[in-house]
């Protein structure tokens, strides 16, 4: 197919939206477009290096694997050229006209979810190629694919909805991006400015970068250098480059090992957990290298799933030099790497928790969900992960947390089990009826606010040979409190509970006097001991089968409470009124448990009760 006139194409709708935001954004750090384009050039060169291993026929096979940046201050123009893999006509359409870049995808999704055109988000995600339009009024991409039979092309766009492609003779292998800068961005064509920006990133690019004909970088891999000689700023710049980030990392771990495998690793924890903010599930982003050569940027099995919040690089000399993405399937080797790195990272977190408890607490507020996910699903590392979990409790101040180990040290001699309560917030748990009996007995209760908590506690079952017990489960046994004056005696309790059981019928499985109530007249616990109220709510929200089954609870009543004592008198004197009160008490208990689905019957009943006032 040979065209001489440019053919015009519309951008995909999402790209139009993205471009609109990028062009009109007030994001101040426009210079990130240089980083994005250099990183694309470097990716293209990496891909070519892989291609050359298997393909005999490569177009312009003698061209050096380099990146050439040139600037023309007068013409307000920058050119970034690489001799990488290049793009065919079809690839130009697919790669530059439709959304492929995971960062841009996540960015668009976050705009949908986080609302407003928050220009800072651009820096957080890195919008890839399209960031060029932050600084350029028009962009030209000259390209020739590595495939010898293909023609060369020029792709042009001003970013306003469409682009054009034209066949072009004499293009060299790779891509040459020509940017005509907007007037207010002319500074980027000044050599000193361009040099300053490129120098910040170029140290981490594995290919030579030349600026206006002069070599800028000596190719070096930060992760292979001696820790003692690396400055904090160098780490931060590397992190920004590697993770497309705009801020410094929260934590970093740089280590090397010789046995059982030779490994150099440099991994970072970002400031923010974007999954927690409701953005897309994170992709694994610790890249795998072998002696400075990139094997795979997002290897799936290099680390356990729960470690997907880490960014960085793992380099191992033990990988066969010509390992391909297919041989990544070499399970045994990847598993070995996985084990060594996970173990080392867990040890690092233990040290952080010990040496910098405040920072660790902040880390776990942000990233704790991943540790919990690991504790529930990663059987090999469960023990260690459990030690790293942090929870608020009835004894911590709001916002402060405790470890399970510290909880255990506070347990009295009598206490055999670790108690926890799940609920949406501290206030909700503290005002519910379940806590008071524990408080009255000085028993500490852990507070769990996250959906995954129930799952973790149920799966883990115990810590340090102490059972983990939900304080709102039916089979919690508490020691006796001294009997207070006027409490119903055993015979009266017997009489009242059997009357309640008959009166409330199918809605209750069991009715009994309770040890755990102090200030409330009743509480409800799930008859099914494996389902906490919290879990039932989660199942309902997820539309799980069975979540709608009629609810039967065990009702526990407080023989010391005035309402219960009155009810005992009333149930023989005025059975009709007593029935209304009993039903209302049950509903009150369900509300306390977050289990009342439909309040309409309750309102009708309340009105009836009020008539009698």
Q: Which does 139 bind (CB under 5 to 8 A by kind): Mg ion, ligand ADP, none?
A: none
Vertex 327: Cα angle to 325 and 328 (nearest 5): 65
| Interface with Mg ion (CB under 5 A), residue from 40, 210, 316, 394 | 40
Stretch that binds ligand ADP, among 82-90, 109-117, 197-205, 354-362 (CB under 6 A): 82-90
Measure the CA–CA gap between 398 and 145, rounded to whole angstroms.
60
| Interface with ligand ADP (CB under 6 A), residue from 11, 27, 125, 129 | 129
Residue 283 or 462: the one with the smaller Cβ distance to ligand ADP is: 283
Pseudo-torsion of CA 451, 452, 454, 456, nearest 10°?
A: -170
Stretch that binds ligand ADP, among 54-62, 79-87, 379-387, 449-457 (CB under 6 A): 79-87
Measure the CA–CA gap between 529 and 258, rounded to whole angstroms.
50
Give 482: exposed, middle or buried? Use CB within 10 Å, 0-12, 13-18, 19+.
Answer: exposed
Q: Which residue is nearest to Mg ion (CB)?
A: 128
Buried b (16+ CB within 10 A) or exposed e, 184-219: ebbebbeeebbbebbebbbbbbbbbbbbeeeebbee
Q: Pick from 541, 607, 543: which is nearest to 580 by CA?
A: 607
Measure the CA–CA gap between 81 and 69, rounded to whole angstroms.
6
Residue 104 or 588: the one with the smaller Cβ distance to Mg ion is: 104
Q: Which does 82 bind (CB under 5 to 8 A by kind): Mg ion, ligand ADP, none?
A: ligand ADP
Q: Which does 84 bind (CB under 5 to 8 A by kind): Mg ion, ligand ADP, none?
A: ligand ADP
Q: Pick from 489, 480, 482, 484: which is nearest to 568 by CA?
A: 489
Query: Would you call 553 helix, strand, or coil by DSSP?
Result: strand
Residue 96 or 388: the one with the smaller Cβ distance to ligand ADP is: 96
- Is 82 an interacting residue with respect to ligand ADP (CB under 6 A)? yes
Residue 40 or 554: the one with the smaller Cβ distance to ligand ADP is: 40
Rounded least distance, CB 290 to Mg ion, Å? 22
| Interface with Mg ion (CB under 5 A), residue from 128, 312, 433, 533 | 128
Stretch that binds Mg ion, among 48-56, 121-129, 327-335, 511-519 (CB under 5 A): 121-129
Strand 522-526's sheet: what is its strand order? 508-513, 553-557, 522-526
Residue 125 or 434: the one with the smaller Cβ distance to ligand ADP is: 125
Residue 25 or 497: the one with the smaller Cβ distance to Mg ion is: 25
- Is 85 an interacting residue with respect to ligand ADP (CB under 6 A)? yes
- What element of type H or E holds 104? helix 102-114
251 contacts 306 by C-beta, under 8 angstroms: no
Rounded least distance, CB 195 to ligand ADP, Å? 21
Rounded least distance, CB 45 to ligand ADP, Å? 9
| Helices of type H across 324-447 | 331-355, 357-377, 382-388, 404-410, 426-431, 436-440
Q: Pick from 216, 255, 114, 132: which is nearest to 182 by CA?
A: 132
575-592 and 490-504 helices, crossing angle to 10°: 80
265 forms beta bridges with 255, 314
Rounded least distance, CB 128 to Mg ion, Å? 4
359 contacts 352 by C-beta, under 8 angstroms: yes
Stretch that binds ligand ADP, among 96-104, 235-243, 280-288, 491-499 (CB under 6 A): 96-104
Measure the CA–CA gap between 588 and 321, rounded to whole angstroms.
68
Residue 87 or 282: the one with the smaller Cβ distance to ligand ADP is: 87
For residue 111, CA distances in Å to 107, 117, 120, 125 come to: 6, 7, 11, 11
Measure the CA–CA gap between 328 and 316, rounded to whole angstroms.
13
Q: Which does 321 bind (CB under 5 to 8 A by kind): Mg ion, ligand ADP, none?
A: none
Q: Which does 125 bind (CB under 5 to 8 A by kind): ligand ADP, Mg ion, none?
A: none
553 forms beta bridges with 508, 526
451-460 and 357-377 helices, crossing angle to 10°: 70
Measure the CA–CA gap between 201 and 178, rounded to whole angstroms.
20
For residue 450, CA distances in Å to 214, 418, 423 come to: 55, 18, 8
Rounded least distance, CB 45 to Mg ion, Å? 13
Phi, psi of 201, rounded to the nearest 5 degrees: -100, -25
- Is 100 an interacting residue with respect to ligand ADP (CB under 6 A)? yes
Rounded least distance, CB 604 to ligand ADP, Å? 60
x/- track of binding to ligand ADP for residues 431-460 (CB under 6 A)? ------------------------------
Under rule CB under 6 A, which residues in 148-207 are in contact with ligand ADP?
175
Under rule CB under 6 A, which residues in 19-48 are in contact with ligand ADP?
36, 40-41, 43-44
For ligand ADP (CB under 6 A), the number of binding residues is 19
Rounded least distance, CB 53 to Mg ion, Å? 23
Rounded least distance, CB 221 to ligand ADP, Å? 20
200 forms beta bridges with none
512 contacts 556 by C-beta, under 8 angstroms: yes
Rounded least distance, CB 297 to ligand ADP, Å? 9
Q: How far apart are the first and last CA of the chain?
A: 90
Q: Which does 41 bind (CB under 5 to 8 A by kind): ligand ADP, Mg ion, none?
A: ligand ADP
| Interface with ligand ADP (CB under 6 A), residue from 70, 95, 316, 558 | 95
Stretch that binds ligand ADP, among 92-100, 281-289, 548-556, 562-570 (CB under 6 A): 92-100
Measure the CA–CA gap between 494 and 511, rounded to whole angstroms.
10
Rounded least distance, CB 63 to ligand ADP, Å? 13
Neighbour count for residue 328 (Cβ, 10 Å) = 18
Q: Which does 208 bind (CB under 5 to 8 A by kind): ligand ADP, Mg ion, none?
A: none
Measure the CA–CA gap between 473 and 550, rounded to whole angstroms.
18
Rounded least distance, CB 281 to ligand ADP, Å? 17
Residue 103 or 208: the one with the smaller Cβ distance to ligand ADP is: 103
Residue 104 or 401: the one with the smaller Cβ distance to ligand ADP is: 104
| Interface with ligand ADP (CB under 6 A), residue from 84, 249, 312, 559 | 84
What does the binding site for Mg ion look like in residue numbers (CB under 5 A)?
Answer: 40, 128
Residues that bind ligand ADP (CB under 6 A): 36, 40-41, 43-44, 82, 84-87, 95-96, 100-101, 103-104, 128-129, 175
């Amino acid at each position: 197919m040979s065209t001489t006139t440019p053919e015009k194409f519309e951008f995909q709708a999402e790209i139009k939206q993205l471009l609109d935001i990028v062009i009109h954004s007030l994001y101040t750090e426009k210079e990130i477009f240089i980083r994005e384009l250099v990183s694309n050039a470097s990716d293209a060169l990496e891909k070519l290096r892989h291609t050359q291993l298997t393909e005999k026929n490569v177009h312009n096979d003698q061209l050096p694997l380099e990146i050439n940046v040139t600037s023309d201050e007068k013409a307000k123009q920058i050119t970034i050229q690489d001799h990488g893999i290049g793009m065919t006509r079809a690839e130009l359409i697919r790669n530059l006209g439709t959304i492929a870049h995971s960062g841009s995808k996540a960015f668009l999704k976050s705009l949908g979810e986080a609302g407003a055109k928050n220009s800072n988000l651009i820096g957080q995600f890195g919008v890839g190629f399209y960031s060029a339009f932050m600084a350029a009024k028009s962009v030209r991409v000259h390209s020739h694919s590595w495939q010898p039979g293909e023609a060369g092309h020029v792709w042009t766009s001003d970013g306003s909805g469409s682009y054009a492609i034209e066949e072009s003779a004499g293009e060299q292998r790779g891509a040459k991006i020509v940017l005509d800068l907007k007037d207010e961005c002319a500074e980027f064509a000044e050599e000193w400015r361009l040099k300053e920006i490129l120098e910040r990133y170029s140290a981490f690019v594995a290919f030579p970068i030349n600026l206006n004909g002069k070599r800028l970088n000596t190719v070096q891999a930060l992760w292979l250098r001696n820790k003692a000689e690396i400055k904090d700023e160098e780490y931060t710049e590397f992190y920004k480059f590697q993770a497309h980030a705009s801020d410094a990392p929260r934590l970093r771990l740089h280590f090397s090992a010789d046995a059982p495998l030779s490994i150099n690793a440099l991994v970072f924890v970002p400031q923010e957990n974007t999954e927690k903010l409701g953005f897309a599930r994170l992709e694994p982003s610790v890249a795998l290298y072998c002696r400075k050569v990139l094997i795979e940027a997002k290897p799936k099995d290099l680390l356990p799933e729960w470690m997907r919040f880490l960014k960085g690089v793992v380099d191992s000399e033990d990988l066969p030099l010509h390992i391909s993405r297919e041989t990544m399937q070499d399970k045994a080797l990847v598993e070995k790497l996985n084990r060594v790195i996970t173990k080392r990272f867990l040890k690092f977190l233990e040290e952080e928790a010990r040496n910098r408890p405040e920072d660790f607490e902040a880390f776990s507020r942000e990233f704790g969900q991943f540790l919990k996910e690991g504790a529930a699903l990663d059987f090999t590392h469960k023990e260690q992960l459990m030690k790293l979990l942090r929870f608020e409790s009835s004894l911590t101040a709001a916002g402060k947390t405790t470890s399970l180990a510290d909880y255990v040290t506070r347990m009295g001699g009598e206490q055999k089990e670790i108690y926890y309560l799940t609920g949406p917030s501290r206030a909700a748990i503290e005002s519910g009826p379940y806590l008071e009996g524990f408080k009255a007995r000085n028993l500490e209760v852990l507070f769990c606010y996250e959906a995954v908590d129930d799952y973790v506690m149920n799966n883990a079952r115990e810590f340090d040979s102490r059972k983990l017990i939900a304080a709102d489960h039916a089979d919690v046994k508490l020691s006796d409190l001294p009997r207070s004056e006027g409490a119903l005696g055993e015979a009266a309790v017997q009489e009242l509970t059997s009357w309640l059981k008959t009166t409330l019928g199918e809605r209750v499985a069991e009715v009994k006097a309770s040890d755990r109530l102090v200030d409330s007249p009743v509480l409800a616990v799930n008859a099914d001991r494996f389902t906490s109220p919290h879990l039932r709510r989660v199942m309902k929200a997820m539309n799980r089968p069975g979540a709608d089954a009629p609810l039967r609870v065990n009702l526990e009543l407080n023989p010391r409470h005035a309402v219960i004592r009155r009810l005992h008198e009333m149930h023989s004197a005025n059975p009709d009124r007593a029935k209304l009160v009993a039903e209302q008490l049950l509903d009150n208990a369900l509300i306390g448990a977050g289990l009342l689905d439909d309040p309409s019957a309750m309102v009708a009943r309340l009105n009836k009760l009020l008539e009698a006032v």
